[in-house]
Amino acid sequence: MTVLEPLSLDGFVPYPAETAARYRAAGFWTDQTLPEPLFATVARVPGKTAIVAGETSLTYAELGDRILRIAAGLRHLGVGRGDRVVVHLPNIPEFIAFVYAFWELGAIPVFAPAAHRRTEIEHFVEVTEARVYVTVARHDGADLAALAAELKATWPSLEHTVVLDADGGGADLDRLLAHDPLPHERRSLPGDVALLQLSGGTTGQPKLIPHTSETYLHSVRASIPLCGITEDSVQLTAVPLCHSMSVRSPGFLSVLSAGGTVVLAHNGSPDTVFPLIQRHRVTQSSIVPPLLLAWLNSSLKERYDLSSLESLHVGGARLSIEAARRVRPELDVILQQGFGMAEGLVNYNRFDVDEETSVRCQGRPISPGDELLIVDDSGQAVPPGVPGHLLTRGPSTIRGYFRNPEENARSFTPDGFYRTGDIVERDENGYLAVVGRSKDQINRGGEKVAPEEVENLILGHEGVHDVSVVGIPDAILGERVKAFVIPRAEADPATLKLAAIRKFLRDRGLASYKLPDALDVVAEFPQTAVGKVSKRLQRVPQN
Ligand code: AMP
């Protein structure tokens, strides 16, 4: 076998050598690449069901075979180690098959949310110099086949597009599957960059988060016991597959290495998922608070047998204590709150915490290697019970965004701590409660929106003199997106109505969850004492 040298990739911020050595010596980082735990399961329980989606069901042997055929087809196209590729798929089995196929080759998938549109996807292709774009022909009314053709014509790096039917399948897939399976073997190293996830961020376009097999699998291995994942687990994935909670916390990587079953759903509404829970005897699901509220408030829960559900993992956004209290009595499951970030750090409440901690806290770090600083505005550590800014460093947390030195100077301290932008309170037992946020970011039910990205696009409207975008409180989503617009003197008011601005943004290819939910046309913005726009005052609900 050829001996592989470490992958060198410009724009990746490495860990200091002594830190990496320490993480390996401690067993946080192991000699494993992302596809290896799955192929160990394929060898162990080939006949077990790995994935269910609609009427499709794949055993581990079938999944392994698909991955290796797709990998062979991609290799035939010239795809190999270190190549960046954009995977832009909804919750279909091909998402999982393609990312494993790319990992098998040592290629680096960008996990693009299916809701993303031209503006975001083009940014990923440009920054990563992607060679391949994989998508579905249509999604939520958008013509992604046309987008694929347009991107290929525009970006010289993009040599191949794979366009699947809306529900997966199709001629492009058949062409790849026609290849004989590649032998499963190591074609990358555990320390190579293996994937690029996205950060909602606060400024401009989404930032790219480079994980290696070492950083990612550390999180997966820690999640498996803490979330109770076993060979008997049947996990329902109802939030987009690209999110950390669907991939690694605990996600399909955990379930597929344990030998359980992943059930995919296109969305998390009760009428979609309750029948799936009943039919497949689902034991666990990871969801965002608005979905939990929808489940709690649905009368359908009496109509379906949900008794197989053992635990619900809830995170991504703030869950109210009132909603948390309802989970056990109304759904008869263990509520496991989690608080994490694609940048790395993950916290879970342990299953045995007392009732108060389970409803008030969002967990404690999953790794003994995680270092947390909770500090006041002047950087001094605060005692337990006092809110402070959370900074973190550890074996799952990146040291920098991909190809983004300016943002890295802002978001990371010189000694490698990531400034999360979250304000947390730690109790005497080390459990964290997320009590606020210092970053200018909107958390719309778990989907993150950077106000500046939306503002920059609205500023391109000919009738707009100035704009400010903020998150306003919302009973279900936690926050919604609101735009305040100061018109130009000559502007036609009809072009500045909410529907018109939403269409304007959609036409520019912005993901729909980032579109303003509300809009006010105003003469001026409220100001802070130092003359800046007071977003705090704009967030206060107006009557
Ligand atoms: P993402 O990288 O998209 O997972 O977003 C990470 C951010 O989501 C965190 O930095 C928090 O601001 C927020 N977040 C995640 N989980 C929670 C939670 N349980 N409660 C409050 N905010 C959360």
User: pLDDT tens digits for 331-362?
Assistant: 999 999 999 999 999 999 999 999 999 999 99
Centroid of ligand 1 to alpha carbon of 419 (angstroms):
13
Q: How far apart are CA 22 and CA 17, in angstroms?
A: 9
Centroid of ligand 1 to alpha carbon of 168 (angstroms):
30
Q: Give residue-wise pLDDT tens across range 240-269.
A: 999 999 999 999 999 999 999 999 999 999
Q: How far apart are CA 54 and CA 66, in angstroms?
A: 18
The token pair that represents 22 in the structure block: 């320490």
Q: Give residue-wise pLDDT tens across range 113-168.
A: 999 999 999 999 999 999 999 999 999 999 999 999 999 999 999 999 999 999 89
Q: How far apart are CA 46 and CA 259, in angstroms?
A: 9
Locate the ligand 1 atom nearest the alpha carbon of residue 200 and give its number: 3
Q: Where are the alpha helices (DSSP H) in 85-117?
A: 93-105
Does the pLDDT at position 543 exceed 80?
no
Residues 6+ apart with CB under 8 A from 5: none
Computed from CA positions of residues 143, 149, 155, 160, in that sequence, does the dihedral angle turn out positive or negative?
positive
Q: For residue 347, list its beta bridge partners.
A: 339, 365
Amino acid residing at 118 = R
State the average pLDDT over residues 263-286: 98
The CA angle 112-470-323, to the nearest 5 degrees, is: 75
Q: How far apart are CA 331 and CA 315, in angstroms?
A: 17
Locate the ligand 1 atom nearest the alpha carbon of residue 315 and give its number: 19
Locate the ligand 1 atom nearest the alpha carbon of residue 447 and give its number: 3
Q: How far apart are CA 451 and CA 448, in angstroms?
A: 10
The token pair that represents 131 in the structure block: 């060679």
Does the pLDDT at position 203 exceed 90?
no
Q: Do 41 and 259 form a contact (C-beta atoms < 8 A)?
A: yes
Best CA proximity match to 439, nearest among 403, 479, 476, 383: 479
Q: How far apart are CA 135 and CA 284, in angstroms?
A: 28
pLDDT given for residue 541 in this prediction: 78
Residues 6+ apart with CB under 8 A from 480: 444, 471, 472, 473, 474, 517, 518
- Give the confidence band of 530 by pLDDT, cuts at 50, 70, 90: confident
The token pair that represents 291 in the structure block: 């979905």
Residue nearest to atom 6 of ligand 1 (CA): 341
The DSSP-derived string for 143-160 is: EHHHHHHHHHHH-TT--E
Amino acid residing at 135 = T
- Give the confidence band of 26 by pLDDT, cuts at 50, 70, 90: very high
Residues 6+ apart with CB under 8 A from 181: 65, 68, 69, 71, 72
Beta strands in 488-540 (DSSP E): 518-521
Q: How far apart are CA 124 and CA 118, in angstroms?
A: 10
Q: Up-side HSE of residue 528: CA atoms within 13 Å toward CB?
A: 6
State the average pLDDT over residues 41-51: 98
Q: Do 269 and 295 form a contact (C-beta atoms < 8 A)?
A: no
Q: How far apart are CA 142 and CA 149, in angstroms?
A: 14
- Give the confidence band of 202 by pLDDT, cuts at 50, 70, 90: low
Q: How far apart are CA 44 and CA 39, in angstroms?
A: 9
Q: Give residue-wise pLDDT tens across range 374-418.
A: 999 999 999 999 999 999 999 999 999 999 999 999 999 999 999
pLDDT given for residue 201 in this prediction: 66
Q: Do 371 and 394 form a contact (C-beta atoms < 8 A)?
A: yes
Question: Pairing state of beta strands 207-212 and 193-199?
Answer: antiparallel
Share of the chain above pLDDT 90, in %: 95
Residue nearest to atom 7 of ligand 1 (CA): 341
Name residues contacting ligand 1 (CB within 6 A).
199-200, 244, 315-318, 337, 339-342, 362, 420, 422, 434, 437, 443, 448
Q: Do 68 and 42 form a contact (C-beta atoms < 8 A)?
A: no
Centroid of ligand 1 to alpha carbon of 169 (angstroms):
34
Q: Do 458 and 488 form a contact (C-beta atoms < 8 A)?
A: no
- Residue 184 is classified by DSSP as P
Q: Give residue-wise pLDDT tens across range 174-193.
A: 999 999 999 999 999 999 99
Q: Do 184 and 39 form a contact (C-beta atoms < 8 A)?
A: yes
Share of the chain above pLDDT 70, in %: 99
How high does pLDDT run on average in the chain?
96
In this prediction the pTM is 0.95
Centroid of ligand 1 to alpha carbon of 445 (angstroms):
10
Report the residue among 339, 349, 397 best suited for mutation to probe ligand 1: largest number of ligand atoms under 8 A from its CB: 339
Centroid of ligand 1 to alpha carbon of 339 (angstroms):
6
Does the pLDDT at position 204 exceed 90?
no
Q: Do 245 and 17 form a contact (C-beta atoms < 8 A)?
A: no
The token pair that represents 406 in the structure block: 């300016």
Q: How far apart are CA 459 and CA 199, in angstroms?
A: 23
Locate the ligand 1 atom nearest the alpha carbon of residue 422 and give its number: 12
- Give the confidence band of 490 by pLDDT, cuts at 50, 70, 90: very high
Q: Do 15 and 175 form a contact (C-beta atoms < 8 A)?
A: no
Report the residue among 361, 448, 477 best suited for mutation to probe ligand 1: largest number of ligand atoms under 8 A from its CB: 448
Best CA proximity match to 366, nearest among 484, 229, 260: 229
Centroid of ligand 1 to alpha carbon of 247 (angstroms):
15
Q: All domains of the chain, ordered by start, with CATH?
A: 34-42+56-188 (3.40.50.980), 234-438 (3.40.50.12780), 441-539 (3.30.300.30)
- What is the chain's alpha carbon radius of gyration, rounded to the nearest angstrom? 23
